[in-house]
Structure 1
Amino acid sequence: MAYSKLAYIYDVLMDDAPYDQWQSFVEHFCKQGKMLDLGCGTGRLSHQFADSGFSVTGVDYSEDMLAFAQANTSGVQYIQQDIRLLQGLTEFDIVVSLCDVLNYITTTDELEKVFTNVRESLVNDGLFIFDVHSLNHFNENMVGQTFAEIYDDISYVWFCEQGREYGSVEHDLTFFLLNEETGQYERFDEQHYQRTFPVETYKELLEKTGFQSVTVYGDFSIEEAEEPEENQRIFFVCKKR
């Protein structure tokens, strides 16, 4: 599959995503500096942050996504790396990982590696901001659900099933994409596995790996969440000690 197809489908799926809210949430805590965007995908948020004055480096595991990002955005340095194995990225004022990227890190051992890598990438007192889906959102709004959309040039069916581990979801997606040359629709499938953990698990791992002032927010609110799990999306704002 050409990178343009994969990236195009991703952007269609994310067309209504609240990118401006992610940006506003982050910029409430940090308005400028050297930023590392982990799991940057097609680079839409990286580009927005760069336009607002950050010096942005975007990292993603997918070469296809990065190729699209490089061709369609500007002002950002893009690097292909696995966020569990970050190398050579240091002295950042802020690291962000948004749009539930860390829900693809499905064991506590791997989460600890990511948090350790992030800490080593930050300057002293640097910020780490990320979000994850809540357990309640997975259990109440995702597991057992089917989603579908039909557009002129693409259609998809998306099945969400309980994963094999507590707090996990298996996503099975089938796409039909119009081939403009033949006028026929081509089918292809994607499988994704996500997992989320209780808030206390994230906080314990963050503190273990050298973060302090770990504050938890919900659904883009800048007021500290008293009951984080009641929100669909949970945000963590952490400072390197």
Structure 2
Amino acid sequence: MTYQHFAYIYDRLMTDAPYESWVSYAQERLPKGTTIVDVACGTGTFTLKMAQEGYNISGVDLSEEMLSVAKHKADEAKENITFVRQDMQQLSGFQNIDAVTVFCDGMNYLMEEDQVRLTFEAIAAILSDDGVLLFDVHSPYKMDTDFDYKVYAENDEDVSYIWFAQPGELENSVEHELTFFIKNEVGIYERVDEAHSQRTFDSSVYASILDDCGFEIVEISAAFGEKAPIHQTDRIFFYAKKRRK
């Protein structure tokens, strides 16, 4: 997976993303002042919004390019947010954290159950007892219907793209192929190709691994905590707490 070019146009693709709903979901479950590590923070939009709401939050992502955009946005907003490049499966440098968040498909970049397990173990290791984990994932239904040989496109003056999604080889997985045409400084359009793989697992799989890794599930929901999941749910939310030893 590469984010070298993708990072700088990611926010264009995410214009309609429900960031305010993610913030509201987290606010309803975490008191202000909570110390949070936002894992797979991307370009830091959610991270920044939570900092502006009074949370002590840091951002972690694997992509230097994503983190560079996130840091620039925080600096412009005059918010002192620490951003660290780390793999979510190998978190370090944090301890006794109140909460960890992993929103906007971050968990869906883990393609194997063992990677999910390593991630939950890494998160548990930095959380305090009773520390909270909040995350969401695409549902299997969404993976099998919304990304079934679909084509998305946008034609804008400085950036245009074609986005093709098709089922992956693994169960409940998808392969995203994106082609961007980006206008450079001299007015010439350059082609950039990106490929991204995502996968999800049944809620019972996430629940079982959470239990194995020392978490107690408080709530599994849909619609940002407003409803119980049904078969046609597109995004599933997990609210878990680290069990006391």
TM-score (norm. length: structure 2):
0.93
Structure 1 residue 26 and structure 2 residue 26: aligned? yes
Following superposition, the deviation at residue 75 of structure 1 comes to 2.4
Residue in structure 1 matched with residue 189 of structure 2 by the alignment: 185
Mapped contact 2:151–2:162 kept (Cα < 8 A): yes
Amino acid at match of 1:169: V
**In structure 2, which of residues 198, 201, 210 is the aligned counterpart of residue 197 of structure 1?**
201
* Cα distance in structure 2, aligned partners of 1:57 and 1:211: 22
Identical amino acids, percent of aligned pairs: 38
Residue in structure 1 matched with residue 57 of structure 2 by the alignment: 56
- Equivalent positions of 1:50-89 (< 5 A) are 50-73=51-74, 74-89=79-94
C-alpha change, 1:163 and 1:98, in structure 2 (3 Å) is same
* Cα distance in structure 1, aligned partners of 2:196 and 2:7: 16
Amino acid at match of 1:70: K
Query: Secondary structure, in 3 states, of the residue corresponding to 2:15?
Result: coil
Residue in structure 1 matched with residue 234 of structure 2 by the alignment: 232
Query: Once the two structures are superposed, what CA deviation does each residue of 1:54-80 show, in whole Å capped at 9, x if it has no partner?
Result: 111100000011111112213211000
- Equivalent positions of 1:1-241 (< 5 A) are 6-32=6-32, 33-73=34-74, 74-179=79-184, 181-223=185-227, 225-227=228-230, 229-241=231-243
What 5-or-longer segments of structure 2 have no aligned partner? none
* Cα distance in structure 2, aligned partners of 1:150 and 1:19: 24
* Cα distance in structure 2, aligned partners of 1:6 and 1:136: 26
Following superposition, the deviation at residue 196 of structure 1 comes to 0.4
Mapped contact 2:168–2:174 kept (Cα < 8 A): yes
Mapped contact 2:229–2:236 kept (Cα < 8 A): no
Following superposition, the deviation at residue 152 of structure 1 comes to 1.4
Query: Once the two structures are superposed, what CA deviation does each residue of 1:76-111 show, in whole Å capped at 9, x if it has no partner?
Result: 110000111111211111100000100000100010
* Cα distance in structure 1, aligned partners of 2:123 and 2:3: 31
Amino acid at match of 2:39: L
Query: Secondary structure, in 3 states, of the residue corresponding to 2:141?
Result: helix
* Cα distance in structure 1, aligned partners of 2:142 and 2:235: 8
* Cα distance in structure 1, aligned partners of 2:229 and 2:64: 39
Amino acid at match of 2:72: A
> More deviation in 188-197 or 80-89?
80-89
* Cα distance in structure 2, aligned partners of 1:34 and 1:6: 29
Following superposition, the deviation at residue 121 of structure 1 comes to 1.1
Following superposition, the deviation at residue 127 of structure 1 comes to 0.6
Query: Secondary structure, in 3 states, of the residue corresponding to 2:166?
Result: strand
| RMSD of Structure 2 on Structure 1 (CA) | 1.5
* Cα distance in structure 2, aligned partners of 1:125 and 1:210: 10
* Cα distance in structure 1, aligned partners of 2:188 and 2:225: 45
Q: Tell me the number of residue pairs that the alignment of Structure 1 and Structure 2 aligns.
A: 237
* Cα distance in structure 2, aligned partners of 1:136 and 1:116: 27
Query: Secondary structure, in 3 states, of the residue corresponding to 2:157?
Result: coil
Mapped contact 1:132–1:233 kept (Cα < 8 A): yes
